[in-house]
Amino acid sequence: MISWGEQAGSLRLGIEAADGVVLWLENVGDTPLTVLSHVRTAGGPHFDWYGVILTGPGGDPIRLTLVGDRDRSAVVRADLAPGETLSHHVDVTAWASRPVNGGNPLPAGRYQARAYYEVDPEPGVWSGRVDSGTVDITV
């Protein structure tokens, strides 16, 4: 089940528990939107405009940055018609183990996960910040 956050303008962000998380963008407006989807790299997609926040048994939030080292990359934009969605699967365990996030594996346990999508003003694309709802995941 997708846990949607509050919309910002014509966009809202949802999060779903699914072997990590799936992040969803939905155009809830009446006109088409162009969004920054992801960054294509040789090592797999990076999600420069997204972040995931996990709160585990200890209660301290773990903020995952979804951008890593890369030599070559290409920004991918997506056009969303009204009511259309875009989704990305994020392996939070793998991202937590990357150097940008401290390089340590996540301790096993149950976490609450939430996400955000934030884009600085840029011509031709949606900009602002939207936050998702919260889901429970197990690592």
For the chain, what is the mean pLDDT?
A: 95
| CA distance to 17, 45, 46, 54, 95, per residue, from 39 (Å) | 22, 6, 5, 23, 15
Helix spans in the chain (H): 92-96
Domain positions in the chain are 3-138
- Considering the entire predicted model, what is its pTM? 0.95
Q: What is the pLDDT of residues 19-64, one digit of tens each?
A: 899 999 999 999 999 999 999 998 889 999 999 999 987 788 999 9
- What pLDDT band is residue 71 in, cutting at 50, 70 and 90? confident
According to CATH, the topology of domain 3-138 is Immunoglobulin-like (2.60.40)
Of residues 128 and 72, which shows the higher confidence score? 128
User: What is the SS3 assignment for 92?
Assistant: helix
